[in-house]
Structure formats: structure tokens, C-alpha cells
Chains A and B, each alone.
Chain A
């Protein structure tokens, strides 16, 4: 380490500065609170870029590590242990990138209790950073559970009509999973050599125990992703959450589940991973098709986008458990892609809602003519989500499917072949949505005079779309960032697979 202060600590805890400022200056008025939050999140983004500049792309292992002994449990040390590698760095960047955008999107949408909203939002950012940077299982668990609290309040206090139901459902589902994970953490920590993730990787846990532990951790992650059939908290949470909450929920929180698989299940339970990979892939494929089918029949545009997440995250899980270089790197890229395109879709739904106070597609129609700029940017977002080549989604989906199709671990091209049908179905529901909202004649008089995008709204959407083009045309820097870490992970799986034979 060259710098005196660890960049990871700064990135994780800088949002607290904003929280303190809001608490101190809370009386100063909505506008200054908004600016404090926005500037805090922008500085955090800047810090994450500084972290990126310190990151050595050529190295596969953990970097910028910080490890302070903290507690002892049953003779095992629980450390305040943080570090970053090629997988987590992308998640940190995604979080830091999306948070200011989400905050800026609330300028007009959140008018009540702005202090509270921004406080929770910054706390949420801190929690997410902690999840992605923790290298100690207990620390990870603490951050994991911590994120529930601000999200619960964001949905429950600033959501729409059924917000309380949705908030409780969100917490109960997640808690059910994470309790099992806690049991799993204690089991691993006390029986198999401590809570330090870096020391656990590849350790020899007997297969039966691995299978149980895979289940305990896997359930928590599968609920978070969410994988079919554990998804039913998601449509409600998304639909009821305020726009910025949906953006972060879809953009980052769901990725905690997918990230968990990569950080825990694959390296710590490799034998179980190999055994269960086809089952996980099977569930993922069901999720891809199921999400697409159900999305197609939604009347509420926000619910449609919510179900589309189930379909898109199915690709991520498929790629993860296909265990090939292409599929895993594709899956990680797709985590970023989904954060961008679904985040943008939720932003657009929010912009529609702010104008018309409805989310039913039947209340729209013909908006491209009334709001040409919003229509064009919505189309670009839809195309990114549909996986049109040249935009980000395609690179992720293609590499996932290509890898899964030829994966020796799934040992059958059928998973990927059936999943590829999802590419057709995505066009079906997304173009259906675009048509219902933006094409055709203007059917409702109220829609005749809607305002087109304001400069602030353009600033909200433009960065996302620019990155979407960047990843679509030149994804190389992204792949380079993650590739050594993924290679290391897969080398481990490969060794285990060979010794098993």
C-alpha cells in the first residue's frame, strides 16, 4: 500500500459524511439536503475511480487488503477484513455509478421527509459497498443484513399504495434466506477453520457438508437474485418502491445474490458446485423463460420491468454455473449490464409516473410523438435490454450463452439452447411494452400536453446510455478488469473437477 488511507475504507464509509452533514444541517431545507446527498455520492464515485486507478489489472488476487482483528468466537478470529478483486471492483463501481444517478432522479419525485430519504439512501450505499468489499463472513453478514434496514424504510415510507405489504414481504423473504446463511456461516467458521474468506477458499470440506452448506448459502443468494421460484417478493417490492429505490434494488441489491454465488458457493464449496451446477442452470433457464412469459402479460409497466429482471438474472445464474471463462465473465458483465439497462428502464417508468401518476400501459400510447426525446431514449434503453448487438446487453448474453452451450460442466448444450429462446421472448415483451406506451396514436387527452425530458432528466439517463454503448462496442476494459480473478476461480474449480475423476 502506498497511500496512507485505505481506499476501500473511504469508498465504503464516505457516504456517512453525507449522513452526518444531513443530520447537522437537516433544517436547512430540501434543496440543500438533496445537494449534500448528491455531492456525497459523487465524491464516493470519485473515490471509487481513485480505487480503480490503484488497482492492478494484471493481478488476480485480493488487493488493497485491510485486516484488523475484531472479535473472537469459539477460538476463531472475526476480522474487520476488506479487500477488492476483479469481480468485486465492478460491483463497487456499479454501485458508486448508479447511486448519484438515483439520487438525482428524486429531485422532483421525493418531496416529503427528504432528510430521511437521503439519509437512508446514503446508508444503503454504505451497506452495499460493505457487502462487496467484505472478506470476512461475519462482516459480510452484518453488511448484508444492514442493507435491509434502509431499503425497508425506503419502500415502506416512500413507496406507493401497497408499500407496507411490499416492504414487509421484502424483509421476510430476505430474512428467511439469510438466517440459513447465518447458520451456514457459523457451521463453516466453527468447524472448518474460521471466518476469513481468503483462508477458506478451496479448503477441504467433505462433500455432504458442502452440499448442505451450498444449500444454506445458496438459498439466501437465490432469494436475493431472485431465482425462480423464490421471486415473488420482487414484483411487489419493485412496484411499490419509489423510483430511486427500484433503480438501486434492481441495479445493485439483486447483484448481491449473484455476487454471493461467486464469492461463497463457487470457491468454498467447489465439489457441491460441480454436482449442483446442472440443477442451478436448469432453474436459471426456467427463470429466463418464466420471467419473460409473465412479463408479457403485465398491465403495469413497472411490474413488467420487474418480471423482466427475473428473466435477465436467469442469464447471470446460467453463466455463473456454466463455469467456463466466457460464461462467467459474461455473467459478471451482465450483472453490470442489467444494472444499467433495468436501472434506466425504472428511471423511465418513474419519469412517466411523475407526468401522469399512473403506471398502467393502457393509460399511455403514442407518447413518442408528444415526448420525442423521452421516446428515443426509452427506445435505446429497450434495445439495450433486448440485447441488440452494438449495445451492452448483447455482449453479456452472447458470451454467457456461448460459454454455457459449450460448457463441459453442464455437459449439454440444451440449457443454453433453450435459454436462447429467451432472446426471442425478450423482444416480445419489451417491444410490446414500447408499443403500448410510445407507439400508436395518442389515445388520452391528458397525454397530449406532456412535457419532454428536462435537462436534469437527460443528465440522469445520458451517462447510463453512454456506458451501454461503451460496453457494447468496446467491452475490453471491463473484461480485462475481471479476467485474472475469474481465471483464478475457474482454475480452482478445474482442479477440483480433475481430482474428483
Chain B
């Protein structure tokens, strides 16, 4: 088949998951769990097939193609279409989203079977798959859009799915509303970011007269020359959107709370795919950022500082998923730093490998948690320990060996141990920083060390030593529908580095058709050596410190004493949430209250009421004049006459 004909398949990356979710809405409840899961997984799997076909077509003819079936909004000089773009960048995203997405759909068939029972509402099983398909559809709209506005549809669509899935167990969590609050927090924080993105869109339309990618990017350098301030504003406003979706400073606070969602959600949305949308946006807008160096610098620093900050927090967490959540923020920081440096390929490369190993880590963590939950049921312990708290684990290596091995692979890949996937992609980012960004390089290297350290800490606390609770003692391995996706992801984490091996640069060449020809990243032995050495040091130090700690469920963290206040800071997440509460949320509430009561009911409502009361008082007064006494009428007539004469006289 001709490439152009294959390109026409692209709308199906959206239609297929939509068909899946519609089928499940209509029939899912009636036909049962297996049916729902299989339909949804099939929809996701077929999406992957379409993505592969598109990739094959592109391999033959790497020129971008646009399939633009319908007009959407057309007023005056504004014209936006529902238009799908097939190019090497969008297809990479489609492949990652549908591949990891399909694996997570399959995993969820098993995981959610237990989860809905553990949470006491088996009827909610189908709903999970409806939301999951909706997510794939939204994410595909985001990455396949050919203009900023359609991209924004996907951008907010995935935010909605995130909201729905974080709040999947909306009656659970702290005080019964914890999860609902976390969901709301995610949506609103993202909307703050979307505010920035909207402003960027208004500006783009104002200066470029279009929202279509090719049209806009073609003019980027001309507009940058004519209106440098506007380009700066556009790229910075866009960055606000990036910090929301990709959980960067200052809007990262929603992502750790998002772990309230079921674990497959954490893996798919809050680690592998959705949160990378910001990185994708910057890569997509290469033409913009490359003409505004000041913005690039800001992006680079935001990413670097986020990477460092989140890594320190990850060090002080006890919840297995929270560690991974902060790790995700930190790794996203790496990617954002990379695209900020202009190393778009390195950023995209890390995006892909991270999707594999972080998806794997989260899914494996889910397997650990459900292993613990089964252990709890098996042990009939009187008090239920938190199955996500790493202090309650220990020794799981022997209880759930398969999960342990895949977790180890994921952990080593994240830590940057050669030759696993994470090593190559992270090395490319460090290599880019090494050229001319000394401070960034140092901070990122420190972060890389911390990454290995907190991963080591987690591996030791979860899998080594002896079981610290009855739940850990009785933990058991997950069923095959859960472990098979784990094995596939583990293989991808092992081999993913091959996508862009030094000297071969497959991904580099592939993306160059969209991002433009650049210097292929050179492999610097010194940088690779430093990063590998630090990774080993981090893992080793964690091993030394944590395998010797007092092995008791309520024991203090061994770093607490030597680090003192520093550790408390990491443990308490540097009080960022508390800061926002005091600086933004509480004042907003108080201000709204002030407007609602003293101002609206007190002043504005009373003005109307006051006018009415005034009219009544006036009427009462006037009524007194009409008292029926002829003598008083005569008096008033006399006064009136006097007044008229006086007026005529004085005129």
C-alpha cells in the first residue's frame, strides 16, 4: 500500500479507543469483567497496530502527512480543523502510548479484578476500562493534532481522565474525601497551567494569524525578529502549561497526590505517558524555543531544579508509590532540562525509555502491593498495616521472586546502570549539559547519584532483609495476566537503549525528519564514566546504609539522625504544600468569603434594598402631605405661590 493511503488510517488511533469505550458503556456491565477488559485491551492493541502501520509508512517516506477530514471552528480569519498529523515525532508518541497503554490494559484485567474486590465495589470494574480507553483516545488526540487548538483538546482531555482515575475510588482516602480532593487538586493545578497555554494560543493567533503547526513554525524566526518580546511571552506562557502537565516547579504538587489512583493509572498516566506531554509540547515547538534563547534557559533551569528537588524528596518517602512519584517528577525534570538545552532528541529518547522502566516500576509496585494485600488476608492479622508503606515490607525477594527480578531491572535502568535503557538516555542528557552548561551538568550529576541512592534504598527496604510484618511474611505472587506485561516491559527496559545507541543514532535520524538535522549526540567516555560510577556509588551507599539498619516496622530511618533537619525537610516534602496552602488556598478562600458575604450580601444587595427602602420612606413622607385638611393644602398652595413669585422676581 502507498504511504499516503496508510496515513489515512491515522484518525483510527482516536476512533478505536472511542469505539472500545462506547461498547463498554453500552454492554460492559451486562457482559461482565472479562468482556470489558478484553474489549478495552483490544481497542488499545489495535491502536498500537495502527501506530505500527503508520511507522512503516513513514519509514518508507519520512515526509510528514496531514489527514484533515473536518472543519471545526471557522470565524473570520480564524480557521481550525480536526486535522491529524503523521510525522516521525507524533508517531513515536503514538507508539509509546499505545504500546505501554496496551500492556497496562492487559495488566489491569488482573489487577483491577482484585482491586475492585479489595475496595468492595466489583461493579466499578467496567468503568475503569471506559476511563482507560478514554485516556488513550485523548492522548492520541494530543499527540496526533496538527494544530495547537486540537492539541489543547487532548491536553485537557487527558487532564479529565487523570481527574476521573485519581478519584476512581472517590469515597476513599483521608476522611473519605482524600481521593476526591487529590483528583480536584490535579485538575485545578493543571488548569492553572492550561491558563498559560491558552494565553500562548491567543498570542500565537495574534502574531501568526494561525494555529496550524507548519504555518506557525514557518514564520517563527521572522516573528522573533520583529517581536522578540512576544516570542518570549509565548514560550514562557507555554512553559506554564508544561509545568502543569509535566509536574515541574512550581506546579508539581498534584502528581504525588495523584498516586491515590489505582496503580495501573499511576503507571500509564502519571508516569509513562500523560505527564510527558509537556516534553512533547516543547519538542513539537522546537522552532519557537530555538529562536528565544532566554526562554530556553528558563526551561532548562526549571527542569534541572525540579529534577534535584524531587530527587531529594524521594529520598525521604516511605510509601512505595510516593517514592516512584517523586522519581517521576525528577526524571521529567531531566527531560525538560534536555529540551531546554535544545537537546530535543535526548529528551525524547529519555521520554521513551522512561515510559518503559517507570511504567514497569509502577506496575511492579502494584504487584508488590497486591502481594502484601493477599498476605494481609492470609495472615488474619488483627491490625491492618499499610500495604504501600515500605517500612512494613522487607524480604519480599523470596516471596514474590518474579516481581523482584523485574523490579530490579526497572530500578537499575532508572539508576542508570549500563547497558540498561536508562543509562543511554540519561547519558545523552548529561552529555548535552556537559557542553557549555557546567552548573546544570553538576546539578544533574548530583541528581543522578541521588536517583541511584533512593532506588537502592527502596530495593533494600522492599525486597531484602527479613519480612517486617505478617503481611510481608505471607505475601504471594501475582497471576500471569499481571506478570506477563511486567516481563515484556522488563525486556523493553533492558533493551530500550538500542533505540539510539551511540554511533548508530536510530532515533536521532528518525526524528530529524521532524525536528531538523542536528549534530548527533557524541558519546563522551568521561561523562558516561562519571554517571555510571555515581550510579554504582549511589546503589552501594544505599545498600550499606539500609541493609544494616534496625529491621523493625517502626524503626527510624537511618538517615534521620545524621542528616537531622535536612532529612525532616525531605520527609516533609520541603513544606511546599503547606506553603501553597498558606499563600494561595487560604487567602483565596478568605477573599471569596469576603466577596460572598460582606460585599455581595452586605453591600451590593443592600443598595438595591436601600433604594426600595428609600422609596418607601419617601412615599411615607409624601403621604403625610395628603392628610385631608383643607387648611394644610391652602398653606402648601400659599408656599408654592410664594416660591414661584420669588423665582420670577429674582430671575
Chain A residues near B (Cβ < 8 Å):
169, 172-173, 229, 231-233, 290, 293-294, 296-298, 324-326, 329-330, 366, 368-369, 383, 388-390, 394-395, 398-399, 401-402, 405-406, 413, 416-417, 420-421, 423-424, 427-428, 431-432, 435, 438-443, 473-476, 479, 483
Contact = CB atoms under 8 A, between A and B. Distances in A.
Interface of chain B, main secondary structure: helix
Contacts of B202: 401-402, 405-406, 413, 416-417, 420
A297 B600 CA distance: 11
A424 B192 contact: yes
B600 A232 contact: yes
A189 to B, nearest CB: 28
A57 B195 CA distance: 35
A435 B170 CA distance: 9
Nearest to B206: A406
A290 B591 CA distance: 11
A95 B121 CA distance: 42
Interface residues of B, number: 52
Contact of A424 (B76, B78, B188, B203): B188
B6 interface: no
23 contacts: A231-B604, A232-B608, A293-B595, A293-B596, A294-B595, A297-B589, A324-B76, A369-B121, A383-B160, A389-B153, A389-B157, A390-B153, A394-B156, A399-B75, A413-B202, A423-B191, A423-B194, A427-B188, A431-B184, A438-B170, A440-B170, A440-B177, A473-B72
Contacts of A439: 167, 170-171, 177, 180, 183
Contact of B73 (A231, A383, A479): A479
A435 B181 contact: yes
A388 B156 contact: yes
Interface of B: 70-78, 121, 149, 152-153, 156-157, 160, 163, 167, 170-171, 176-177, 180-181, 183-184, 187-188, 191-192, 194-195, 198-199, 201-203, 205-206, 589, 591-593, 595-597, 600, 604-605, 607-608, 612
Which of A293, A330, A405 is packed against the most chain B CB atoms within 10 Å? A293
Contacts of B194: 423-424
A103 B25 CA distance: 29
Contact of A420 (B71, B195, B595): B195
Nearest to B76: A325
A424 B74 contact: no
B160 A424 contact: no
Contact of A294 (B170, B592, B607): B592
A169 to B, nearest CB: 7
Contacts of B612: 172
Given A431-B184, A435-B180, A399 B73 contact: yes
A427 B195 contact: no
A404 to B, nearest CB: 9
B74 A474 contact: no
Contact of B595 (A290, A325, A330): A290
B198 A440 contact: no
B413 to A, nearest CB: 36
A388 to B, nearest CB: 6
B201 A402 contact: yes
A190 to B, nearest CB: 28
Given A390-B157, A420-B199, A423-B191, A229 B604 contact: yes
B73 A395 contact: yes
Given A402-B201, A405-B203, A474-B72, 5 more contacts: A229-B607, A296-B589, A399-B75, A427-B187, A479-B73
Contact of B198 (A173, A420, A431, A438): A420
Nearest to A366: B171
Contacts of A413: 202, 206
Contacts of B70: 474
A423 B181 contact: no
Which of B76, B77, B192 is packed against the most chain A CB atoms within 10 Å? B76
B22 to A, nearest CB: 12
Give 4 nearest A-B pairs by CB, closest first.
A325-B76, A439-B180, A297-B596, A405-B202
Contacts of B596: 293-294, 296-298
B10 to A, nearest CB: 18
A173 B615 CA distance: 13
Contacts of B201: 402
B171 A441 contact: yes
B592 A431 contact: no
B604 A329 contact: no
Contacts of A424: 188, 191-192, 194-195
Contacts of A483: 75
Contacts of B180: 435, 439-440
Nearest to B171: A441
Given A423-B198, A424-B192, A479 B75 contact: yes
Nearest to A390: B153
A6 B102 CA distance: 59
Nearest to B149: A398
B153 A476 contact: no
Contacts of A395: 73
A394 B72 CA distance: 12
B169 to A, nearest CB: 10
Given A326-B76, A389-B153, A423 B195 contact: yes
Contacts of A475: 72-73
Contacts of A229: 604, 607
Which of A232, A233, A395, A421 is packed against the most chain B CB atoms within 10 Å? A232
A390 B600 CA distance: 34
A10 B109 CA distance: 58
B160 A388 contact: yes
Contacts of B156: 388-389, 394
Nearest to A168: B612
A373 to B, nearest CB: 11
A431 B205 contact: no
Contacts of A232: 600, 604-605, 607-608
Contacts of A169: 608
Nearest to A472: B153
Contacts of B72: 473-476
Contacts of A420: 195, 198-199, 202
B604 A405 contact: no
Nearest to A292: B592
Contact of B188 (A390, A401, A428): A428
Contacts of B181: 435
B170 A368 contact: yes
A241 to B, nearest CB: 18
B171 A369 contact: yes
Nearest to B596: A297
A402 B205 contact: yes
A114 B467 CA distance: 72
A388 B153 CA distance: 8
B198 to A, nearest CB: 6
Nearest to B603: A229
Contact of A405 (B75, B176, B206): B206
B592 A296 contact: yes
Given A232-B604, A383-B160, A441 B176 contact: yes
A156 B170 CA distance: 40
Contact of B205 (A325, A369, A406): A406
Contacts of A442: 171
A297 B592 CA distance: 6
A401 B198 contact: yes
Nearest to B608: A232
Nearest to A303: B596
A432 B184 contact: yes
A120 to B, nearest CB: 25
Nearest to B167: A439
B71 A476 contact: yes
Contacts of A233: 608
Contacts of B171: 366, 369, 439-442
A362 B467 CA distance: 45
A406 B206 CA distance: 6
A204 B302 CA distance: 58
Contacts of B205: 402, 405-406
